[in-house]
Amino acid sequence: MLGYLVKRIGSMAVTLLVIITLTFFLMHSIPGSPFNEERATSEAVQKNLESYYHLDEPLYVQYFLYLKSVATFDFGPSIKKSSQTVNEMLGRGFPVSFELGMVTLIVAIFSGILLGIIAALRHNGFIDYLAMTVAVLGISVPNFVMATLLIQQLAVTWEILPVATWTSPKHMILPTLALATGPMAIIARLTRASMLEVLTQDYIRTAKAKGLSPVKIVFKHALKNALLPVVTILGSLAASILTGTFVIEKIFAIPGMGKYFVESINQRDYPVIMGTTIFYSTVLIIMLFLVDLAYGILDPRIKLHKKEGK
């Protein structure tokens, strides 16, 4: 197990390095620089600024300088908001984004699984059709449309929930709903399909032949097996929720990391682009790692320490 962890963390570091390298060179290959806007700055000032941010050095020097500072977890100062460092921005935005992402993920997982189970148990019944129709809608309606609809109905027309911001649990309901609907629908459909498949397995018949109650059969014997495929897609769902947070944060004026990320790209604020990208990637890589661990725990046939290497 320890060997597996070491190898796994090593490969995560390599992945991250590749991401940093690619982002760095891609970002610099886009024409333009943080300082060439319409606003006229004198040539001397521009030179000074560029030398301050090492932008006058050859690209490979900049790259290694950057790697050096990232290795010490220092993402440098922002170019556009010179009074702030990228670390400060992340420190302020991350907790909010993390909260939004996690609450969404938890809501999506639990309600999706529950919906999937109910639909499978009422297979081809009214509840099944209703749940799956809702799921198809949930998958096909993009989260920004969902957000607009929710705001229109629940906040503007009925006035039961606040329109925007992230200041109390009540404020969290609409953004979370808007962001969770898609992933929830995907989980519900997958759970249903996988549950239906598991319920026809021989070991379920064995469990019935023991005289176990339907509740025990579903929750003890079927669910764990039915969740295996669901766990495998959690990684990509986490990624889609993560990108979803940019949009949702913008719509609901939530002060998360998304704002910095989008602004920084528009403004060519190199350190902020790099910092947020690396940060998002790290979060995602860790999520994928956790998903693999969860899979190993759910399915005893998978030996984590043997999977790699051989």
Partner 1 sequence: MDKVLEVKDLHVSFKTYGGEVKAVRGVTFDLHKGETLAIVGESGCGKSVTSQSIMRLIPEPPGKFDGGAIIYKDNDLTKLKESEMRKIRGSDISMIFQDPMTSLNPTLTIGDQLTEGILQHMKLSSEQAKKVAIDMLDLVGIPSPHVRLKQYPHQFSGGMRQRIVIAMALVCQPEVLIADEPTTALDVTIQAQILELFRDIQKKTGVSIILITHDLGVVAQVADRIAVMYAGKIVETGTRREIFYNPQHPYTKGLLNSVPRLDVDGADLIPIGGTPPDLFSPPAGCPFTARCPYAMEVCDKMYPYKTKLTSSHGVDCWLQDERAQKLLATK
Q: Enumerate binding residues for partner 1 (CB under 8 A).
A: 201-203, 205-213, 216, 220-221, 224-225, 298-301
d(CA 110, CA 115): 9
Decide whether 116 or 296 has the Cβ nearer to partner 1.
296
Decide whether 39 or 310 has the Cβ nearer to partner 1.
310
- The four Cα atoms 240, 168, 88, 261 give a dihedral, to 10 degrees, of 30
The least CB distance from residue 4 to partner 1, in Å, is 19
The least CB distance from residue 140 to partner 1, in Å, is 31
Decide whether 289 or 295 has the Cβ nearer to partner 1.
295
d(CA 150, CA 49): 46
Decide whether 170 or 208 has the Cβ nearer to partner 1.
208
Decide whether 170 or 205 has the Cβ nearer to partner 1.
205
The least CB distance from residue 302 to partner 1, in Å, is 10
The least CB distance from residue 183 to partner 1, in Å, is 24
The least CB distance from residue 212 to partner 1, in Å, is 6
Contact 288, 235 (CB under 8 A): yes
The least CB distance from residue 35 to partner 1, in Å, is 59
Helix H, strand E, coil C: the string for the chain is: CHHHHHHHHHHHHHHHHHHHHHHHHHHHHCCCCCCCCCCCCCHHHHHHHHHHCCCCCCHHHHHHHHHHHHHCCCCCECCCCCCCEHHHHHHHHHHHHHHHHHHHHHHHHHHHHHHHHHHHHCCCCHHHHHHHHHHHHHHHCCHHHHHHHHHHHHHHHCCCCCCCCCCCHHHHHHHHHHHHHHHHHHHHHHHHHHHHHHHCCHHHHHHHHCCCCHHHHHHHHHHHHHHHHHHHHHHHHHHHHHHHHHHHHHHCCCCCHHHHHHHHHHCCCHHHHHHHHHHHHHHHHHHHHHHHHHHHHHCCCCCHHHHCCC
Q: Which two three-digit tokens encode residue 202?
A: 């021989």
Decide whether 100 or 190 has the Cβ nearer to partner 1.
190
The least CB distance from residue 110 to partner 1, in Å, is 20
Decide whether 44 or 215 has the Cβ nearer to partner 1.
215
The least CB distance from residue 299 to partner 1, in Å, is 6
Decide whether 97 or 225 has the Cβ nearer to partner 1.
225
Q: Positive or negative CA dihedral for 101, 107, 113, 116?
A: negative
